[in-house]
Amino acid sequence: MTHGTLSQHEFEISGSNGIYYLSWPALHIDVRVDRIKESSDHEVKGEVQFTSSRPTSAGHLRSGRLNLTSPAARNTFGKALSTRDSEVDWDRVMEQLCTAVLDKWRHGSPVVVLDGKVDVTAQARWLVDPIIQLHNPTLIYGPGSTGKSWFAQYLAVLADHGQNHGGLTVEPSKVLYLDWETDQQEIGARVTMIRRGLGLDGQSHILYKSMNQGLANDIETVRSIVAEHDITLCIVDSLGSACMGEPESAEVVLRTFGALRTLDVSSLIIDHTNKEKVLFGSVYKFNSARMVYLCVKDQQEDENKIVFGLLHKKANNFKLMRPIGFELGFGDGLVKITRRDVRDTPLEEHMNMKDRIENLLRSIPGGLSVTEIAEVLEKTESHVRKELSEGKNSGRYVILENKKWANRAREEEESWRF
Instruction: Let me know whether 340 and 399 are in one domain.
Output: no
Structurally, the chain folds into a number of domains equal to 3
Instruction: Let me know whether 17 and 41 are in one domain.
Output: yes
Q: Is the pLDDT of residue 173 over 90?
A: yes
User: What band does 342 get if pLDDT is binned at 50, 70 and 90?
Assistant: very high
Average pLDDT value for residue range 299-305: 84
Contact partners, residue 188, CB within 8 Å, separation at least 6: 208
Rounded to 5, what percent of the chain is helix, strand, coil?
Answer: 35, 30, 40
3-class state of residue 123 by DSSP: helix
116: in domain? no
Phi, psi of 143, rounded to the nearest 5 degrees: -65, 170
Among residues 82, 66, 90, the alpha carbon closest in space to that of 8 is found at 90
Instruction: Let me know whether 74 and 152 are in one domain.
Output: no
Average pLDDT value for residue range 105-114: 83
Q: What is the pLDDT of residue 412?
A: 42
Average pLDDT, the chain: 91
d(CA 355, CA 72): 70
Cα angle value 312/318/322 (rounded, 5°):
30
Structural domain boundaries, residue 46: 12-107
Q: What is the pLDDT of residue 415?
A: 40
Q: 302 in the Ramachandran plot: left (φ > 0), alpha (ψ -120 to 50) or beta?
A: left
My answer on whether omega of the bond before 247 falls inside 30° of 0, hence cis, is no
CB 239, CB 269: distance < 8 Å: yes
Q: What is the pLDDT of residue 209?
A: 98
- Residue that terminates a domain, selected from 293, 316, 348: 348
pTM strictly above 0.75: yes
Q: What is the pLDDT of residue 15?
A: 85
119: in domain? no
